[in-house]
Amino acid sequence: MAPRQTPSQTVGPFFGPSLIEAGSENLVRPKTRGDRIVIEGRIIDGDGAPVIDAMIEIWQANAEGRYDHLEDDQEKLLDPAFHGYGRAATDAHGAFRFETIKPGAVPGTDGVLQAPHINVSIFARGLLKRLCTRIYFPDDPLNETDLVLITIAPERRATLIASGVCNSKVMRFDVILQGANETVFFDV
């Protein structure tokens, strides 16, 4: 099916049928090293309505804390079974789901370790620029010293921290585009 033309004044609706390869929401393979996790959530607007036909991309380090990228020249192991990039569409309920691993800590400025995190980009109808945020993990000791996370007002940090679901490897991360409890977004 060919994508339908859209007006030039707006973005989409074409994310799901045109830009998302089947299976790109599963970042792990049988030989991928690290603790397997599932990240699931919803993208919702300021009125609490689901954002359908949005696209969410994630980019993360491997379990060792190294990105599969030419500019990451750390002496940590690369994992040939993990590339750290995924893409998913939201469904009719604004929901998305990724199968991945918990990333290792990566160095930040001046070599200070950043808490394990997943970089997130959101693309949706009406957004002329992507929105960028991060997913952090609950109870990680490096959250207390992460130079990005500690710059966020304490009452807003929770919008960047996933929550565990029923003692499982499933992490919940909802993205709220505006209004009360709006997710913290970064200018990049």
| 25-29, 110-114, 175-179: segment of lowest average pLDDT | 110-114
Q: 102-133 burial, b for 16+ CB within 10 Å, e for fewer?
A: bbbbbeeeeeeebbbbbbbebbbeeeeebbeb
Higher pLDDT, 148 or 166: 148
φ, ψ of residue 59 in degrees (nearest 5): -145, 130
Tokens 């200070």, residue? 112
Does the pLDDT at position 4 exceed 60?
Answer: no
Q: Each residue of 28-81: pLDDT tens digit?
A: 999 999 999 999 999 999 999 999 989 999 999 999 999 999 999 999 999 999
Q: Each residue of 95-143: pLDDT tens digit?
A: 999 999 999 999 988 888 999 999 999 999 888 899 999 999 998 999 9
Query: Confidence class of residue 17 from pLDDT cuts 50, 70 and 90?
Result: low
Tokens 């789901």, residue? 97
Q: Which CATH superfamily groups domain 15-176? A: Aromatic compound dioxygenase (2.60.130.10)
Nearest Cα to 137, choosing from 99, 183, 97, 173?
A: 173
Contacts of residue 67, Cβ cutoff 8 Å, sequence gap at least 6? 59, 60, 61, 84, 106
Query: Confidence class of residue 22 from pLDDT cuts 50, 70 and 90?
Result: low
Please report, for the chain, how many H helices and E strands are present, in that order: 0, 11
What confidence score (pLDDT) does residue 165 get?
Answer: 73
Cα-to-chain-centroid distance, residue 78: 20
